[in-house]
Amino acid sequence: MATETPPPAKPGAPLPSTEEFTAVQQSAEFGELRRSYRSFAFPLTVAFIAWYLLYVLLSNYAGDFMGTKVAGNINVALVLGLAQFLTTFLIAWWYARRAATRLDPKAEAIKSRMEGGA
């Protein structure tokens, strides 16, 4: 696993040592931050990919269904295609909200402790 040294947050501030980074990475607090992120991001990613693949499969193999008129010249394919955009924006909004309330405070606490030398 490649290890990158992040740039200092404040000009002239000393970088934490490799041992400090390793200690934080192995801490329970960092583990909880990773679990919080993964428990949200991974299931949503899988669900969205499944939803996208369903749309592609329906487009390829269920042409009659996708061509069904919903209203006027609007068919099921158009509705589901637009729903792809809607779900993309909803997931992005939901993630941003969740990150701001649950992930960012935990990450900021770890960061400030690292920068403070604690």
| Prediction pTM value | 0.75
| Cα atoms in the 13 Å half-sphere on the side-chain side of 8 | 10
Q: What is the pLDDT of residue 6?
A: 56
Q: Can you name the residues that pair with 74 across neighbouring β-strands?
A: 71
pLDDT tens digits for range 36-57: 999 999 999 999 999 999 999 9
User: Rounded to whole angstroms, how far apart are CA atoms 33 and 17?
Assistant: 21
Nearest alpha-carbon partner for 107 in 37, 11, 16: 37
Percent of the chain with pLDDT over 90: 72
CB–CB of 34/27 below 8 Å? no
Q: What's residue 15's pLDDT?
A: 78
- Report yes or no: 86 and 9 within 8 Å, Cβ to Cβ: no
Give residue limits of the domains in the chain. Answer: 42-116
